Amino acid sequence: MEITGFTEENINNYIELFFNQLGNSSHQGDNLLNFLRSKPRIWGIAHIPINLELICSTWSNIDWTQTKTVTITVLYDRLTEWICRRYLEKQKKMSPIETNRMDKTDVYDECRKELAFLENLAFLGMENNVILLGPQLLKEAQKESGCKLKDCPDLFNVGLLKSYDSNSGGIGIRITADKHYYFVHLSFQEHFAARYLANALSNNTRDQAKQFIREHKYNQRYQLLFIFLSGLINEDQETKCNRAFWDAVLNEPLDIIGARHVALVTQCLDETGLPETFPESQQFLEKITQWLEYALSSGSHYLSELFERTLTTCNAICNEPQVQQTIVRLLNNQLLINPNMVLSFISKIPLTNPIEPLLLALREALRNDDDSVRRTACYALGRMGDKAATKEVTDGLLEALRSDDKSVTSSACDALLRMSKEAATKDVIDGLVEALMSDSYYVRSSACYALGVMGEKGATKEVIDGLIEALRSDSYSVRSRACEALRRMDEKAATKEVIDGLVEALRSDSYSVRGRACDALGYMREKAATKEVIDALVKALMSDNDSVRSGVCDALGRMSEKAATKEVIDGLVEALRSDDNSVRSSACVALGRMSEKAATNEVIDGLVEALRSDNYSVRTRARVALVRIGEKAATNEVINGLVEALGSDNYSVRSSTCEALSRMGDKAATKEVIDGLVEALKSDDDSMRRRACEALLGMGEKAATKEVIDGLVEALKSDNDSVRRKACYALGHMGEEAATKEVIDGLVEALKSDNDSVRSAACYALGHMGEKAATKEVIDGLLEAFRSDDNSGRSRAWDALGRMGGKAATKEVIISLDCALECEWSKKQESSTAYMLMSEDQVRDYLSLMSALGVFWDLELKSGEWGKIARQCVQRKLISPGRLVKVCMERGEQMFLRGAIYACVVTETALAIHGSSLCVYDREGMRKVCIPPGSENLLDELRKGVCRAIDWLDLKIYIDWNRP
């Protein structure tokens, strides 16, 4: 039920599309992207589609520049406020003028009952470990919050809950108390549960709230909840709440292992943003820096990795000068055991605001005699990107470019390419050009890549000459990267010498080189569309490598009509018959871009055949190509080919053909086409009928035959709202020609639809039929549409009455218009594993053998075959830490002790003593293991083993709440 799935590319595309549709500048979308990337935790939740939609919506409505620190708590608070404002306007019928006059406190006050209900419901769900919230929990939440459904009919309709109909398996339409509900995303349930606890900490239920925190603070299921809670109580700036929360976190029961405790304290502190209003945060920071200094100076890989994982999302703490100064001290310590560990640590954390001493320390590391230190320093600086691009740093990287160690030189190239925007100075570019002459293939390859990332800034004559030389390299990698660099420079690098070099690269034995050469020529577009290039690409189309052929198609497509020779089109038609879907897909795109020049019978036949493909990408791109060709070239050949495709027994072919015909408009309104579309209107497939309506819509009055109108009237009776809507629009485009009694009666019936878009489309159609449609039934129906809550429907009804002229100017219409006008002024618009299948005796024997061999602990054995098996078993969850601890405690067998500790350490499982129980907090939640009487020695051995595992790191934090 939780929606997941956006990739980084999806996020970029979604944001661009969102702001384009709003008519906003790309600058606003770029600002949002930069903001998301600078906030690791927020960047993580932005991969969830519903969250990204809400973030975009609030970003476009709120001035975020006024918010000094944007944590995930602040973000969700803003999202909640925005949702509440929308709820007040849509459900409570408040006008935007009213809601715009309200600040956040006013909005929350208006929604206090609904918010209290959601907070109680969210906490009950978390407490009961459920996402699907059933009727019993709903009733309990109503009782606890004092907000009943009967008193607040829109209680479940705030915009944060969705109903789930267990009978149909779908989303419920009508809100009933007997249905199950779930929050639009789990993170919203966690946020509202945190709001519940924040309120509890400030009233007479504080002790119960503290007990809940103590018992569940190491439960990984509640990690985000407690992060939200720390942010909320800090925002309220109530000392008593802060102290209650942190007392519960810092005091017994404490995690014996320590990893979860470190993560909990650090991440919760980071969420506060370390404000001046929370002076105790400095005491926390002092302890965290002590932990960090101990971990990195000890040489313990486990502790170093623990802090890397913990601080990955902690933007505020990592950019605190106190923390960075600690790292500087370590880097400057000549007795440091492992400087590479510190440098590697730096490269893993979000240093978006590095202090000057840190950059200077890294600059000094670039002069180290140890090549591995210099290489790691390059990597750390590269990870900081533009923020590290000071003159001192770039000078240091330029020195590293001249290193005798090729891995250092290559790493310096990589660092400079990550700083491309700020580091593209003449000195840097000259240094990279010099690196192009290195005798190391790897260095030259990296230099090519760095210059390519600099794009047009690096497109100087010296660079281009160096890249042309690189195209002649004996190394396939160098030649491939040179092609890639030239592609990034686009048309600015499209000189005759470059094009000749790329044509030569097309003859390479390396598929990679030939593919990248195709890409580069394609991005030079028409400037590269010479006869020599086109001839070479046509020859490359006959390659036995599908990746190369796909790249050739892409390149020819980018050259557009200028590459549309008969030989090219014949080659692309042949590519449409390929067994490889990427080749066929790219050929479709290329032919579509050549538009009318590709409008031959062979092309149309090939694209129609591609519509029958089992591959979605091929079908989609063939459809787009037909549409593009149809728009530009409504020739007899194209139309005849599409008419034939309309009779296909393949749905995808017929549907795509209809879309292509709709784009051609009235140019395609031949008798044969219209007859084919009338037949398509009789299809049992709703999508097919919708496409047919769209095609007829584009033909307007030219398609207004009796057979067409009868077919569209029948479509008005469809159970599918999308079909009915498109039928309305098609009839509307036919104007008065379609204004028959049967049509008007059908449109009047459509005005009574429960679907806003159908009613709106019916208004549109009636309006375009003018006075011929001005019957009493029509006018009454349009007046009823006026009373709708749908803005689009009201506007369309208004427009329709206006188009009917005097015939619609009745007293009732005029009164309704006056009322509507007055109203408008006041508003704005756990999966089974092989381990689990083993019997208890098998598990016991298996673990006994591994523990007896000491594979969990002995450093020498850990690197051997048994050690590999042990680590894999733990990391793949084949050995459960909880089960190992249980066997160890309940049977009193110390032979399992090392295995139990190791498994807990690797999986960040927490162990805490609650009375007579040992609580195990792993990825699955929390389970209690009874501590048998007389187990004191075993517990002592457990504690000692843990201390050895974490190098005796002291995890206790003592906060003086009275310290100024």
> What's the pLDDT score for residue 855?
47
Domain boundaries, the chain: 7-67, 70-207, 320-470, 495-617, 874-963
How many Å apart are CA 111 and CA 121, to the nearest integer?
Answer: 15
What is the rounded CA–CA span in Å between residue 590 and residue 577?
14
Between CA 872 and CA 732 the distance in angstroms is 67
Task: Spell out the long-range contacts of 244-251 with Cβ–Cβ below 8 A and sequence spacing 24 or more.
Answer: 244/201, 244/206, 244/209, 244/210, 245/201, 245/210, 245/213, 246/280, 246/959, 247/210, 248/210, 248/211, 248/213, 248/214, 248/217, 249/213, 249/217, 250/957, 250/959, 251/214
Q: Which residues contact 687 (CB under 8 A, 6 or more apart)?
A: 651, 655
pLDDT for the residue numbered 704: 85
Report the range out of 111-125, 407-421, 474-488, 789-803 with the highest average pLDDT: 111-125
Provide the pLDDT confidence category of residue 930 given band limits of 50, 70 and 90: confident
pLDDT at 376: 94
694-703, pLDDT tens digit by residue? 888 878 888 8
Is residue 226 within 8 A of residue 67, CB to CB? The reply is no
550/349 Cα distance (integer angstroms): 39
Which pLDDT does position 232 carry in this prediction?
92
Q: For the residues 859-879, what does the mean pLDDT come to?
A: 54
> Which pLDDT value is given to residue 362?
94
Lowest mean pLDDT among 96-105, 287-296, 745-754, 885-894: 885-894
pLDDT digits (tens, 9 = 90+) for 364-386: 999 999 999 999 999 999 999 88
Give dist(CA 269, CA 310) in Å, integer. 12
**Residue 200 neighbours by CB under 8 Å, 6+ apart:** 206, 208, 209
Tell me the β-bridge partners of 161: 183
Per-residue confidence (pLDDT) for residue 649, from 0 to 100 = 66
CATH class belonging to 320-470: mainly alpha
Q: Is the pLDDT of residue 250 over 60?
A: yes
Q: Specify the range with the lowest mean pLDDT, choosing from 186-200, 201-215, 428-442, 853-867.
A: 853-867
26: pLDDT confidence band, cut at 50, 70 and 90? low
Q: In a 3-state reduction of DSSP, which class is residue 929? A: strand
- The interaxial angle of helices 301-311 and 259-272, nearest 10 deg, is 30
What is the residue whose two structure tokens read 């149909």?
A: 168
Nearest Cα neighbor of 13 from 39, 42, 46, 45 is 46
Chain-centroid distance, C-alpha 233: 29
CA-based torsion, 902, 905, 907, 911: positive or negative = positive
Residue 227 has pLDDT above 50, yes or no: yes
Q: Which of 457, 530, 473 is nearest to 500 (CA)?
A: 530
Give 913's strand partners: 918
Torsion of CA 732, 738, 743, 749, to 10 degrees: 20
pLDDT interval class at 861 (50, 70, 90): very low
Provide the residue count of the chain: 964
pLDDT in the model for residue 119: 96
> pLDDT tier at 176 (50, 70, 90 boundaries)?
low
- In 3D space, the residue among 43, 29, 111 whose CA is nearest the CA of residue 75 turns out to be 43
State the DSSP H helix or E strand holding residue 653, giving kind and residue range, or none if neither.
helix 651-664
Average of pLDDT values for 642-650? 67
Nearest one of 145, 51, 66 to 103, comparing CA atoms: 66
Q: Which residue in this structure is represented by tokens 């879907």?
A: 581
Greatest mean pLDDT among 262-271, 601-610, 891-900, 908-917:
262-271
User: Pick from 837, 833, 773, 832: which is nearest to 800 by CA?
Assistant: 773
Cα–Cα dist 354/350, whole Å: 9
pLDDT higher than threshold 80 for residue 846: no
**Model confidence band, residue 908 (pLDDT cutoffs 50, 70, 90):** confident
Q: What does the pLDDT read at residue 166?
A: 45
The 3-state DSSP class for residue 183 equals strand
406's enclosing H/E stretch is helix 406-418
Region 323-348 average pLDDT: 89
The per-residue pLDDT for 642 is: 67
Nearest to 490 by CA among 465, 514, 454: 454
User: Order of strands, edge to edge, in the sheet holding 161-165?
Assistant: 170-171, 161-165, 180-183
Distance CA 528, CA 244 (A): 70
Q: Give the pLDDT score at 640.
A: 67
DSSP state of 133: B
DSSP E strands in 296-418: the ranges are none
Amino acid (1-letter code) at residue 532: E
* pLDDT band, residue 836 (cuts 50/70/90): very low
For Cα atoms 688, 689, 691, give the angle at the middle one, nearest 5 degrees: 65
The average confidence (pLDDT) of the chain is: 81
Helix (H, G, I), strand (E, B) or coil at 70: coil
Mean pLDDT, residues 287-294 taken together: 88
% of the chain residues with pLDDT over 90:
17
DSSP assignment of 240-305, as one string?
Answer: HHHHHHHHHHHSSS--SS-HHHHHHHHHHHHHHT--TT-TTHHHHHHHHHHHHHHHHHHT-HHHHH
Q: Concatenated DSSP letters for 576-626?
A: TT-S-HHHHHHHHHHHHHHGGGG-SHHHHHHHHHHTT-S-HHHHHHHHHHH
- Structure-token pair, residue 172: 């419920």
Domain at 495-617, CATH homologous superfamily: Leucine-rich Repeat Variant (1.25.10.10)
| Res 120 pLDDT > 60 | yes
Dihedral, 885, 887, 892, 895 alpha carbons, nearest 10: -80
Find out whether 342 and 312 touch, Cβ atoms under 8 Å. no
Instruction: With cut-offs at 50, 70 and 90, classify the pLDDT of residue 349.
Output: very high
Confidence of residue 774 (pLDDT cuts 50, 70, 90): confident
Beta bridge partners of 171: 164
User: So what's the pLDDT on residue 830?
Assistant: 34
pLDDT value for 601 = 79
> Is 239 a residue whose pLDDT tops 80?
no
In this prediction, residue 617 carries a pLDDT of: 78
Residue type, 896: F
Cis geometry, peptide bond prior to residue 350 (ω within 30 degrees of 0): no
Triad 607, 612, 615: Cα angle to 5°: 100
Burial class (CB in 10 A: 0-12, 13-18, 19+), 240: exposed
Q: In the predicted model, is pLDDT for residue 171 greater than 50?
A: no
- Average the pLDDT over 126-145 and give the result: 91
- Nearest residue to 708 via CA among 686, 742, 741, 679: 679
pLDDT at 852: 42
Please enumerate in sequence order all residues whose Cβ is within 8 A of that of 958, keeping only pairs 6 or more positions apart, or say none.
none
CA torsion 180-183-186-191 (nearest 10°) is -130
φ, ψ of residue 437 in degrees (nearest 5)? -95, 5
Q: Which two tokens stand for residue 222?
A: 């509640």
* CB-based contacts of 895, cutoff 8 Å, min separation 6: 848, 851, 852
pLDDT over threshold 60, residue 25? no
CA distance 17 to 9: 12
Q: What's the rounded Cα separation, in Å, for the pair 139 and 155? A: 12
**Total Cβ atoms within 10 A of residue 666:** 13
Contact assessment for residue 256 and residue 912, using Cβ atoms and an 8 Å cutoff:
yes
Residue 576, both tokens: 């449409």
Q: Which of 66-70, 566-570, 904-908 has the lowest mean pLDDT?
A: 66-70
Query: Whole-model pTM?
Result: 0.66
DSSP state of 503: H
Is there a shared CATH topology between the 320-470 domain and the 495-617 domain?
yes
User: Which pLDDT value is given to residue 509?
Assistant: 84
- Burial class, 963, CB count within 10 angstroms (exposed 0-12 / middle 13-18 / buried 19+): exposed
- The pLDDT of residue 814: 55
